Structure formats: C-alpha cells, structure tokens
Structure 1
Amino acid sequence: MRTGALSLDAFLARRAADRRLARLTHDVGLPEGKGLEFGPGANPTPLPAGLRVAYVDHAREAQAGLPGAVPIDHGWAGSGPLGPVLGETGFDFAIAAQVAQYVPNLLGWLRGIHAVLRPGGVLNLSLPDKRFMFDAGRAASSTAELVEADLLAYTRPSARQLFAHTHEARAVEPARVWAGEDPARAPPLCGEAALALAHARAVEALACEAYGACHCWVFTPLSFLDRVEDAARLGLFPFVLNQVAATEPGGFEFYVSMRRATEEEPSALQSLQDGAIHHLRGILARQHRVAALLAGA
C-alpha cells in the first residue's frame, strides 16, 4: 500500500484549484486514512501523504508496458468478493476515474467495493457522458444488460459488449458536439471496417480467454441514476448516493459519489436510497436543461 506524495497543504491548494480532483476526493477524510484506486494507469489521483492507497485493476499485469503506469497491487476481475483479494477490509475510500465503463459486471464490481469499505466509507467515480464522446451513437445501457452481466458473473467483456463498442463508436470530439455538431452524423470510429471488425472481436471473445478492453456500459448522468434506482429496488445496489455532478460545458465526464451507509437494515437502506435518488434527480433535471440550452447556443 502506497502513501501519497503531496503534503497536506499542497494537496488542499491543488484541490481548491482543480474541480476534477475535488470531485474524485469528495468526502475523503483527512489527514489520514486508507483507500483504493482502481485502474490508475499512468495518472493516479494525487493524494496527501497521510492517505495510504492500494492500486487495483482487472489483473496485476493489466498496465504492463504502459509508459509511466504505476504498479498494480491487486488483480480483481470485478465479480466475486474483493476482501480475500486485498487481504483486509475497512477501507475509508475508493476512487475510480474513467474506469467503471470498462468493468464487465458493473453491479458485482460495485458490491465488491461496498463490502470492503467501512460504514461511512465513500466511492467516487468519474464516468463518460455518452452525449459528448465516441459513445454518442450508442443507446444508453439498460437494466436488463446490467442484470444479465451480474447473473452470468462476467469477468471479461462479453461478445455483445465488444461488438457494440467496436461497431457503434463514433469519431466524436466533445468540443465539436458542444459547438453544435450532430454526433449522429460522425463517421464510425473504426472506419468502414467497423462492422467486420466488431464481428471478429466478438468471435475472438468467445474463442479465447483474453481480456478485450471496451466500453461495456454507456450512460448519461440521468440514465445512470435510472439504472441505480432499478438496481437498488432489486437489492443489487447497496450504496447510498451522495452526489451526482453533471457534465460541465465543454467536458465529457460526470462524477458520482456514493457511500456505505451506517444503517444497512433493508427498509432503512431503501428509504435512504430513495430519498437521495429523488433529490439528485431533481438537481440533474435542472442541470440537463441548462446543458441543452448551452449546447444549442
């Protein structure tokens, strides 16, 4: 488990000037604590020296060969218990920046993280908003897709997930969408060969055990909230949402903060979840209307 390199004062100054860092560290307690970061790549979240962090990815060798990548402490595919992989529980926080969309079984992944956090511990995510990046031509992920992936306990992207990602991705730039360009008119990201390439990747996914990276999940802030609401009603989503920060003008990602409740009796948890979702839905609806006006300006 590594210790952050910044002094507390340097971290606080940086967070005050960096909205993204502030959202990824929302409700992370200071000055001390222990946490997890998923898929840090070559850009782990800068943290103060008092916070100890362990890095997790779908496999320990997942980032091998990536220039500047930090070493991965634990490999976990996202289905099944996380505690035995880590060898401990009671973590104060977890961070996953632009990671959750790649997780084959998103509900199982979230439950695994929930189980290793202490009561009151937080998980902070950033996710791509499909409207402003290469997923713009794809349909938002459905509850049926989430449940299927959970029941089948996916540990690597399915043939369908790989096919959809490869075939439907568009060559889209956020700035051009915000400037008024219709992403539906953008060409396929993989060019004229996208359909054949998508089929080849799907066939390969069924034929071998290799992990094929792709966007398994596609959301807007509101569609994510809809899926969370359905999953919570099914007892498949154990967190209580703290915050959903909508995509800012010119950007392409939104942020979600959630916590492990201190009261986890089912009826009390459901009440907390329902209240948070209702509150956040109203905020997001207003933010979406403002974003639509700005996008059309």
Structure 2
Amino acid sequence: MSAKRDTMLRGLDLASASGLEIGALDKPVVPPATPRIFYVDYADTPTLRHNYRNDPNVEIGDIVQVGGIWGEQTLAEAAAPVAPVDFVVASHVIEHVPDLITWLQELGSVLKPGGQVRLAIPDKRFSFDVLRAETQYADVLTAWLVRARIPQARAVIDHIYRVTTVDCAQLWDGSVEPASLRPNNRPEHAEAIGRDVLEHGRYHDVHCWVFTPASFAGLMAELADAGYMQFKCLEFVDTERNNLEFFAALQPCADRTETVASWKAAQASVEADSPSASGRQALEQRLQQLDAELAAAALARDAAAARAAGLEQALAATRSEMDRVMASRSWRLTAPLRALLGVFRS
C-alpha cells in the first residue's frame, strides 16, 4: 500500500487540504488520521461491516467511518458537510459505477477550483477481466442515456460469464496465454443473473467497465471531445511490471482542446512504453534465447580456459624436461659426437 499511496497522493498537502475518499472500505488510501478527510460509500459503516462479515478479504474492524452515503442522493448531497474539497480519491471504484459519465460529472461538482481527482484503475490484461473486451464509447454513452442506477444486464452477463482465475505474474512473463484460460462460470449462470437484473432490477456488484491504460486514456479523449467529460489528464502512471493497476490524476478543465490533447498524450505515452502481450512474449523469448546463448558461451569460455591451462602445464613440463636433459652428464659427454655428426651432415 505504501508505494500505491505515495503515487496516488503525490503532491497533495494532506495536512491542510480537504478531501473525499470514495469506497475506501477497510483499505483507505488516505489514512483515517488525516485531519480533513471524509469517507463516502454506498452504505454506512455498520451496514458495510454486516455485508462483509463473511468476506475473508475484508477486515471488518478496519472499515473506515463513513461520513456520507452516495446512492439515492447525489455526491454533492452526500458530501454536503465538507464540499467543496481540494481532492477526491477513488481506488478500484470507477470500474464498478453503473453510469460512468454521470459519476465523473458528480466528482466535478464537489471540487474546488483547481481541485483534483486521483484514481487507481485495474488493468484488464493482468486481472480476472483478461478475457473481457475493452469498454467502448457506445457502452458508456448507452448507460448515460438510460441514466443507469444499477449495473446493466449486458455488463453483468459479460462479467459473470468471462471472469476467470489468473496469476498476475504469469500473465506478465507470458508463461500463461490468455487464450488458454477458461471462464469460471457456465453460460446458464450468467443468463440467470442477467434475467435477475432485467426482471427484478437487482443490483449485482460487477466490473461494469474494463480498461487497459491505453484504452482508458483513449476513451477519456473521446468523451471529452464529445463534451461529456470535462477533466484533463494531469498525470498518468502506466501499470508496473507484476502489478495490475494504473493511476490517473484528473483536474477540471473547460478547454475542450486542451482536455482532449492531454488524454491523447497520455494514450500515446503508454502505447509507446507498453508492448502488447504478444510483444512482451516475444521479448521474453528473446531474453531466454540470449540467456541460453550466454550460458553456452560461458561454458565454451570455461572449456577453452581449462584447455589453455592444460597446454600451459604441458609446455612447462616439457621445458622442465628439456632443461633436465640438457643439464645431464650424458648430454655434456656426447656433445663432441653431436658436433662431429653435424660436420658430416653438412
């Protein structure tokens, strides 16, 4: 959490700035001891503790004290005791919201001039969303047009049907191909949940939206260009190796051209820095090949060094034997005879 916290809160003066954190649950990015932090969630603290009492991934005793409930009322109403604020933080929240456009607009409604939004967003390439298609502009606009208050049937079905169990590190190093993975649930289960949404309007907590860093930045550029989103990109941090989330810092901006340009620049930066899955696999294979060649070269070098050492020892032994022979009494006594033979041969 420390590295993530440092990235998400970089440049914010927590000692004096006022802020909201949305959906903190038991793992707040902004520490509860921060003087002017206000937590917002879909329910109050006792209800959250009850709802998550059997979840092994949630420590119910650490669930933060919720100050505002955002659901039936707007965010401005939920945060009325403290709004407007200097910053809003949301970690792994944006992918859950049924109506992305309205959600972003409501974030803007509680910020002071110059305020910022800090987001942590899962990267589908390294999460259980790996089998799902990236969210498209039409998906987001449709949810806005119907003013979705619950995850829509299509998103729920897609999540239930395609969610899979993954190992983030294996997806990074290419030892597991996404095409080899299988969904966790059967089609009839996804159909039943979809029918429940359509017939009873029940809320099912799923990832409504699916992103990579590049697709998120591209979508933000499209929404900004169409006038549905008025946040420029201040900072964009790509997914780090063996991690599954990326980060974005947003700030309200009325200049559409500047806003679109900022997101296109963010998209270009991550497209240039992040190879595709096949590209990563090719690089991994090339690294393995180079490692094997280096190991073979090292063995050949060691063998050559051993051969050279053996030759040096043989040469030294031969020279020693030659010196011994030439220093012997017999060699000296036969010297005249060798000289005479040399005369006859010449």
- Distance in 2 (alpha carbons) for counterparts of 1:60 and 1:177: 37
- Residues 61-140 of structure 1 aligned to structure 2 (within 5 Å): 63-65=48-50, 66=52, 67-68=60-61, 69-77=63-71, 81-87=74-80, 88-140=82-134
* TM-score normalized with structure 2 length: 0.73
Contact 1:127 1:255 in 2 (8 A): yes
Deviation per residue, 1:108-165 (Å, 9 max, x gap):
1111011110111111111111111111111100100000111111111111111110
Aligned: 1:146 with 2:130: no
Displacement after TM superposition at 1:244 (Å) = 1.5
Structure 2 counterpart of 1:221, from 207, 213, 220: 213
The sequence identity of aligned pairs, in percent, is 28
Q: Which structure dedicates a bigger proportion of its chain to helix?
A: 2
Contact 2:40/2:78, CA 8 A, preserved across alignment: no
Residue number among 199, 224, 227 corresponding to 1:207 in the alignment:
199
Q: 1:231 aligns with which of 223, 235, 240?
A: 223
CA distance in structure 2 between the partners assigned to 1:113 and 1:234 by the alignment: 18
Matched residue type, 2:224: A
Aligned length: 271
From 151, 175, 179, the equivalent of 2:173 is 179
State the distance in 2 between where 1:64 and 1:95 align: 21
Task: Show the counterpart of 1:23.
Answer: 7
2:180 is aligned with what amino acid?
R
- The code of the aligned residue for 1:64 comes to R
Shift of 1:292: 6.5
Distance 1:292 1:91, change over 3 A: farther
**Alpha-carbon shift at residue 291 of structure 1 (Å):** 7.8
Q: Which ranges in structure 1 are unaligned for 5 or more consecutive residues? A: 1-14
1:227–1:76 CA distance, 2 compared to 1 (3 A) = same
The aligned amino acid for 1:222 is A
C-alpha separation in 2, matches of 1:134 and 1:239:
28
What is the deviation of 1:207?
2.8
Q: TM-score, normalised by structure 1?
A: 0.84
Structure 2 letter corresponding to 1:208: H
Aligned partner (choices 260, 263, 278) of residue 277 of structure 1: 263
Deviations 1:167-197 (A, max 9, x none): 011222211111211022112123xxx2111
* Alpha-carbon distance, 1:206 to partner: 2.0
**Once superposed, what is the RMSD of the aligned Cα atoms?**
2.2
Distance 1:291 1:172 in 2: 15
Q: Which has the larger radius of gyration?
A: 2
Q: Which portions of structure 1, spanning 4 or more consecutive aligned residues, are displaced by more than 6 angstroms?
A: none
The correspondence of residues 146-165 of structure 1 with structure 2, limited to 5 A, is 146-165=140-159
Alignment-mate amino acid for residue 25 of structure 2: G
Deviation for aligned residue 1:210:
3.3
- CA distance in 2 between counterparts of 1:223 and 1:206 reads 29
Alpha-carbon distance in 2 for matches of 1:50, 1:213:
29
Structure 2: runs of 5+ lacking an equivalent: 53-59, 285-346
Partner amino acid, structure 2, of 1:84: E
> Any conservation in 2 of the 1:91–1:116 contact (CA below 8 Å)?
yes
SS where residue 269 of structure 2 aligns?
A: helix
**Higher relative contact order, chain-length normalized (CA < 8 Å, sep 6+):** 1
- 1:119 aligns to what SS in structure 2? strand
Question: How far 1:60 moved relative to its partner?
Answer: 3.4
CA contact (8 A) 2:221 2:264 kept: no
